[in-house]
Amino acid sequence: MIAAHLMLDGAFNINSTDKAAWLAVLSAMRGQDFALQDGGTAPSDAAFPRLRHPTGTANGLWNGFRTLSDQQIDNLATHMVNQVKLRGPFQSLGEFVNRRVENTDLGKSGAIQSAIDALQANNNVLKTPFTPTVYEPSANAHIVKFTEAGTPGYLSQADVLQSLAPVITCRSDTFVVRGYGEAKDSKGNVIAKAWCEAVVQRMPEYVDRNANEPHSPVASLNIVNQSFGRRFEIVSIRRIPRPEMVALASNAQ
């Protein structure tokens, strides 16, 4: 219900295959200030604290928090793009976060955890192996067989998601639509041309807003809302001058 009353300015689409975009969103925690239990200062690297007030220091295994250098963030962005190309497009955030239900490498972990594993970010953390003999043999391939797995110094998908969750989405809700029109004389000759550009935004309300609340289950919607879904509103519209339109067409080629 809260989604009907809140709008997110500048959400990040997880289906992006632009490394620079992933680099920007993953770097958002770089230099962010947060409170440490002992009164220390947060590091300048990108930090992914699991607890609100960590008691240890940066990269402390048992009671600290994990950080990634600029180079590691750059490499993680590369691996994220690879995972999106391998698994996407994602139709929901659940599909992005969770592993596939299949007997392949895609069934071992979700996109973010697989990118972290490809980064080998935890190689220097995992030191004490154990043999999971109490588990089913078929599950052994999905178990990280080290005592340190899951500690605050072990970077997990959940740690990264804690920072990304408020801003990610699996689809865009704002679109730029360009239109073209022309006028002809009685002989069919074009005598005038015009271009326009509109910014269109999908809203929480359904097309027939009086019939159903935004949080209504799909099965309970009337025929109009089942057929057409959410409302689209024109946020802005402008006429595009011809020189600017020529430049847009040139850039699109």
Between CA 161 and CA 166, with CA 164 as vertex, the angle to 5 degrees is 110
Residue 91 has pLDDT above 80, yes or no: yes
Lowest model confidence (mean pLDDT) among 38-47, 134-143, 153-162, 213-222: 134-143
Confidence (pLDDT) at 19: 95
CA atoms within 13 A on the CB side of 20: 0
Q: How confident is the model at residue 121 (pLDDT cuts 50, 70, 90)?
A: confident
Query: Who wins on pLDDT, 25 or 37?
Result: 25
Q: How confident is the model at residue 40 (pLDDT cuts 50, 70, 90)?
A: low
Predicted TM-score (pTM) of this structure: 0.72
CB atoms within 10 A of CB 12: 17
- pLDDT for 126-161, tens place per residue? 777 667 666 666 666 666 766 767 778 788 899 999
Residue 66 has pLDDT above 90, yes or no: no
Confidence (pLDDT) at 206: 94
Lowest model confidence (mean pLDDT) among 4-18, 44-58, 138-152, 165-179: 138-152
Beta carbons of 239 and 192 less than 8 angstroms apart: no
- Residue 187 CA to residue 194 CA, distance in Å, equals 20
Confidence (pLDDT) at 39: 58
**Size of the chain in residues:** 253
Residue 253 CB-density burial (10 A; 0-12 exposed, 13-18 middle, 19+ buried): exposed
Query: Who wins on pLDDT, 53 or 167?
Result: 167
Contacts of 79 (CB under 8 A, 6+ apart): 114, 115, 116, 118, 119
Confidence (pLDDT) at 133: 66
Side by side, which strands form the sheet with 174-184? 174-184, 190-206, 230-240
Residue 250 has pLDDT above 90, yes or no: no
Q: For residue 143, report the phi and psi dihedrals to the nearest 5 degrees.
A: -105, 130
- pLDDT for 167-212, tens place per residue? 898 888 888 999 999 999 999 999 998 999 999 999 999 999 999 9
Confidence (pLDDT) at 137: 62
Confidence (pLDDT) at 220: 94
Name residue 168's amino acid: I
- pLDDT, averaged across the chain: 84
Beta carbons of 101 and 94 less than 8 angstroms apart: no
Query: Who wins on pLDDT, 238 or 129?
Result: 238
CB atoms within 10 A of CB 166: 9
**Residue position matching structure tokens 């801003």:** 167
